[in-house]
Amino acid sequence: MTGEQDPPVGELEGSLAATLARVADGVARIELKGSLEAEEESKGDLSDVPVAEGTTTVRTRTSYAIEGSLLWDLRRGHLAGAEIGAELEVLIDTHKDPGQDGPDFASLMTLAGTWRLQVEIVVP
């Protein structure tokens, strides 16, 4: 089964709140929390599926539950660090396009995981 392998590039929908948590020693800590979702539709084929053939429509939905924080250096006016995490889920729904010879085909694949980013900016 082949199709576009890039992550969803559709519009992100949802909300991400940024809240100033504290300011100390010239550094602001900004807390992040929210959820985002992207949906994408692409065309594929069943060339890798031994029991079916033809073209497919692949619908991908990716959901992110995001939490983290940013550190902002107020004196220098730039990012000083970040710790951001996301629980993510990807649903890949594949259906054989109608009107083709052979048996129908459909699959639903769910992928889940955790994504973490930690950044520290060091300025000499």
Nearest C-alpha neighbor of 53 from the set 1, 16, 10: 1
Domain presence at residue 51: yes
Domain presence at residue 2: no
Band (1; pLDDT cuts 50, 70, 90): very low
Q: Which residues, in sequence order, are bridge partners of residue 104?
A: none
Domain presence at residue 5: no
Share of the chain above pLDDT 70, in %: 92
Domain presence at residue 30: yes
Nearest C-alpha neighbor of 34 from the set 85, 106, 110, 96: 85
pLDDT for position 11: 84
Name the domain count of the chain.
1
pLDDT surpasses 90 at 29: yes
Domain presence at residue 1: no
Provide the whole-model pTM: 0.74
Structural domain that includes position 46: 11-120
Tokens representing 107 are 């699959």
Domain presence at residue 6: no
Q: How far apart are CA 5 and CA 94, in angstroms?
A: 13
81 Cβ partners below 8 Å, 6+ apart?
Answer: 70, 71, 118, 119, 120, 121
Domain presence at residue 102: yes
Minimum mean pLDDT among 2-16, 20-34, 51-65, 100-114: which range?
2-16
